[in-house]
Structure formats: C-alpha cells, structure tokens
Structure 1
Amino acid sequence: MAFGADELRVLRRALAIALHPSTVQDEDIQDCLRLAHSVDEAVRERDRLRAFLLADLARYRAALPGSLPGYTELLQDALAAGYDPGPHDLAALRALRSNPVCAALLERCRLLAERAVRARPAGRAKTAPGQRTRLLTLVGGRAGDKDKGAEPRPGAPARPTPAPERPVPKPSEVFPPRRRPAPPPAQRAAG
C-alpha cells in the first residue's frame, strides 16, 4: 500500500498526536479518521481483488487443459501476490508437466508448498490478516461534535460517521474479458 503526500502528512500528525496528546485539534482528529477510513477501504478492496483472483484461478483450473495459457498466467499472478498453491494446483500441474511452462510452475509450486508445510509446525504459517481494529476515538478529541452543534459531555468518546457503502463492482466491470489469440492461418499444401 502506498501513501500520497497528503496521507503522509496526516500520518505524521497522527504520530505527533500519539506522542503529545494534549495538542490535539478537531481538524487533526477528522483527518486521522478519514485516513483510517481510506486504509480500511484499501484493505477491503485488496480482499475483494484477492477473492476474485482465486475464484478466477479455480474456474480456469476446472477448465484445464483447454484453458492452459490463462491458467498458467493467473497462477503466476497469484503466486506473485503471495498465494500458497494447494494440492489441486499441484495435481493440475503434474497432469500437464509435459508443457515446459507447467513443469517450471510445478517445481516452483512444489517448493512453495513444502515451505508452507514446514512453517506450520513452527508456528510461522501464513495466515490471512484479521480485521484491523477501527479507530473510533483519540484522547482529547471532539470528533463529530462539530457537526452536531452540541458541546461534548466529559468523557464521551467521539464516533465517526460511517462512510457510505459503495456498490461492489462486478468482475466484468473491473477486468476486461481476456481476448483469445487468433489461430495461425492454415497452410495449404501445394499439390
């Protein structure tokens, strides 16, 4: 995840607030809450994209051997994104190992699978990150009271207004359909 200049400025102020909570201003709190919402949205988008990629990979794997080029491309993308290949991937690649690309992928997947199996007993297994705890209050802040026009009660935590939910786009809206390469022209024998 990359931060822009404005987001880095807010992050820097948030760290300063953590070190010196007595200097908190309402504007700083609102900026921190907006940054927290942006990070949450980025995490949700990453999870949606990962789920779509894995579902697409499963569809291509189910259509093997006809979908070999698409499957190998998607598997390479998934591996680059940190995907641990499962037994179904290894079985599919073993069945197609006569193809040089599949043979190379099989070796790579075998190494990754072995590494994942060895890491499990040691407690280093790769786990999906849990939901990040939402930032609801900052010490000394009065977020949200500005909008209500009321004075805050002492000790009352400020709660952010929930961001409106965006509709989840369909995969076909996000990713254009893959174009199949045109078959080579048939050569006619002269006779």
Structure 2
Amino acid sequence: MAFSADELRVLRRALAIALNPTPVADEDIQDCLRLAESVDEAIGETGRLRAFLLADLARYRDALPGAARSYTELLQDALAAGYDPRAEDLAALRTLRDLPSGDALLRRCRALAERSVRAGLAGRTAAPGQRTRLLALPGGRKEGEPVQPKRPAPDGVPVPPRPAPKPSEVFPPRRKPATPPAQRFAVG
C-alpha cells in the first residue's frame, strides 16, 4: 500500500499525537479519521480483489485440462501473493503432472499446504488477523460528538458513500459466440 504526500503528513501527525497525547485540533482529528477511512477502503478493495482472483482461479481449475497453462500461471501468481493451496488445487495439479511446470508446482503446493496445516495444528493462524478500526485518538473528539460525513456535496448536502462495484459489474462474464444454425441440405 502506498501513501500520498498528504497522507504521510497526516500519518506522521497521528503518530506524534499517539506518542505525545495533548489536545488536538478538530482539523487534525478529521484528517486522521479520513486517513483511517481511506485505509479501511483500501483493505476492503484488497479483499474484493482477492475474492475475484480466487473465483477466477476456480473457473480455470474447473476448465482443466484445456486451461492448464492459464491455470498454472494464475496459481503461481496467487501463491506469490500468499495464497494457501486447497485440496482442489492439489487434485487439479495431480492431473497436470505431465506438464513440465505441473510436477514442480504440485511439489511446491504440497509443501505450502503441509506448512499451513502444521501452523493450524500448532495453534497459530497462517493468515494475518483483521486490522482493528481506529475509533478515536487521545485528546480527540468528545464523547457523543458526531462525525462529519465522508464527502460533502458542493451545495452542502451530505452525500452517502458510494458502494464499490462488484467484480462482475466491472468485468462482465464472457459470452460464448452464438453458433450458426445448421443448414439443411436437400437429399434427393
């Protein structure tokens, strides 16, 4: 995740406030709350993108063996991003052992799956925990004080937050081309 120069300035102020709790200006509080909302939105978008990529991986897995090359490439990208292979992935890779990359990828996925299972049995989780939401800063807003709306409209009327589009809205499903109707030939 990358921060802009303004976001880094706000983050630096928030850290200074956390280290030296003193009364804080309302503008600083609003800046910190906006930064927290931006980070929360980025995390939510990351989750939606991950769900989309996992659905894409499942689609390619279901299309095996015809989509073997695309499936192995997508699986390698997912593994590089921290994906733990599932039993379906291991079963699919067993059918692709004849491919040059299939056997090596199967060995890699087995090792990752085994490590994930061992971590789960040891009482640790393989995935990082959820980020806790920043609710208030020391010296920040007072009890019962309302939070400003996210985006004020030019005429001053609060605008509700815009929902993020679903992957199916951004990337519509591919339609199969219509097959031409069979022509009938007269036999005679």
* TM-score bracket, shorter-length normalisation: 0.7 to 0.9
Give yes or no for the alignment of 1:159 onto 2:161: no
> TM-score w.r.t. structure 2 length?
0.78
Give yes or no for the alignment of 1:170 onto 2:167: yes
Instruction: State the Cα RMSD in Å.
Output: 2.3
Pairing of 1:52-91 with structure 2 (within 5 A): 52-91=52-91
User: In structure 1, what is the Cα distance between the partners aligned to 2:26 and 2:93?
Assistant: 57
One-letter amino acid of the counterpart of residue 141, structure 1:
G
User: In structure 1, what is the Cα distance between the partners aligned to 2:72 and 2:3?
Assistant: 32
User: In structure 1, what is the Cα distance between the partners aligned to 2:143 and 2:88?
Assistant: 55
Query: Which residue is 1:140 aligned to?
Result: 139
Q: Matched residue of 1:105: which SS?
A: helix
Task: Give the superposition deviation at 1:2.
Answer: 2.1
Asked if 1 retains the 8 angstrom alpha-carbon contact of 2:23 and 2:140, the reply is: no
User: In structure 1, what is the Cα distance between the partners aligned to 2:44 and 2:140?
Assistant: 27
Task: Give the superposition deviation at 1:134.
Answer: 2.8
- Superposed CA offset, 1:27-71 (max 9, x none): 111110110011001000000000000000001001100111111
Asked if 1 retains the 8 angstrom alpha-carbon contact of 2:85 and 2:109, the reply is: yes
Task: Give the superposition deviation at 1:128.
Answer: 5.6
Structure 2: runs of 5 or more not aligned: 152-160, 175-188
Q: Matched residue of 2:22: which SS?
A: helix
Asked if 2 retains the 8 angstrom alpha-carbon contact of 1:136 and 1:159, the reply is: no
Task: Give the superposition deviation at 1:103.
Answer: 1.0
Moved more, 41-50 or 114-123: 114-123
| Distance of aligned partners of 1:134 and 1:162 in 2 relative to their CA distance in 1, 3 Å threshold | farther
| Distance of aligned partners of 1:122 and 1:63 in 2 relative to their CA distance in 1, 3 Å threshold | same
**How many residues in Structure 1 have an aligned counterpart in Structure 2?**
165
| Distance of aligned partners of 1:133 and 1:64 in 2 relative to their CA distance in 1, 3 Å threshold | same
- Superposed CA offset, 1:76-114 (max 9, x none): 111011000011111110111010111111111011011
- Superposed CA offset, 1:148-182 (max 9, x none): xxxxxx6434434356133414357369x8xxxxx
User: In structure 1, what is the Cα distance between the partners aligned to 2:30 and 2:171?
Assistant: 31
* Larger RCO of the pair (alpha carbons < 8 Å, separation 6+): 2
User: In structure 2, what is the Cα distance between the partners aligned to 1:141 and 1:118?
Assistant: 44
Fraction of identical pairs, as percent:
64
Moved more, 53-62 or 16-25: 16-25
Query: Which residue is 1:113 aligned to?
Result: 113
| Distance of aligned partners of 1:129 and 1:106 in 2 relative to their CA distance in 1, 3 Å threshold | same
Query: Which residue is 1:31 aligned to?
Result: 31
